[in-house]
Amino acid sequence: MALHFIEGNQCFADSVDEISADFFVFASKHKSESGKPALTVHSIGNWGKAEMGGKDHSLVPTNSFLLKNYLLALQKQKGQSQLPYDVCLECAHHGPWLSKPTVFIELGSSEKQWRDKKAAEAIAKTIISSTSIEGNFRSAIGIGGTHYCPEFTKLVLKTDWALGHICPEYALPFFNEEMLQKAIAFTKPKPEAIILDWKGLGKEKVRLVELLESQTLPVLRIKALLG
């Protein structure tokens, strides 16, 4: 494992792709209007227009097992350090554009949390202890739900499913056959299923069902998996 520092906004750090590595992990700060304390992990890319780095309608390779290992470790760190933070997945929503598997692990969501040494240590300890693409898990992609993926977060924390790319409800207008195939191709290990947050599909249910009918991967509903 090698540590690199970069100048400027990480969302535009396409030059990182020149570094020799098997995959990239960005330790980053997360910002939201709510300012809610959160420890998050996510893949990167843009389902639609690239407004925060990357390329339009383009996803970056990711590893679902690494994402799961980080999420589980953050949940453990939260308990051990008694951190009043949400631990959650996020959907892909920004750059940079890179050709190698990439994961963002973030501390949010305001300057108050960015200065929280215990929370920052939780991120650091997670990276040190749990940077692994190994695990007895099942890989999948997710479709539906909100930006912070509460149902998919529960699934990853409570079952053996590991999720790579997740397309939220607000990005479904951009979700077509091309983006579906990119989500599958850029999630490693190879997905065993497509998992739907059925209630989080909004007005796109009928179109998505028709789109997914031609797929060979099984299409599962998250409610059934959580029981």
In a domain, 5, yes or no: no
In a domain, 114, yes or no: yes
CATH code, 174? 3.40.630.50
Q: How many domains does the chain have?
A: 1
CB neighbours (10 Å) of residue 97? 20
Q: In terms of residue numbers, what domain contains 49?
A: 10-226
Rounded to two decimals, the pTM is 0.96
Report the distance separating Cα 132 and Cα 154, nearest Å.
21
Q: Provide the pLDDT for residue 34.
A: 78
In a domain, 4, yes or no: no
In a domain, 219, yes or no: yes
Report the distance separating Cα 180 and Cα 159, nearest Å.
24
In a domain, 96, yes or no: yes
Q: Provide the pLDDT for residue 32.
A: 81
- On the question of pLDDT at 124 being above 90, the answer is yes
In a domain, 41, yes or no: yes
Report the distance separating Cα 147 and Cα 224, nearest Å.
21
In a domain, 204, yes or no: yes
Phi, psi at 140, each rounded to 5°: -155, 170
Which residue, among 51, 55, 222, has the nearest Cα to 141 in the 3D structure? 222
Q: What is the pLDDT of residues 179-194, one digit of tens each?
A: 999 999 999 999 999 9
Q: Provide the pLDDT for residue 30.
A: 83
In a domain, 1, yes or no: no
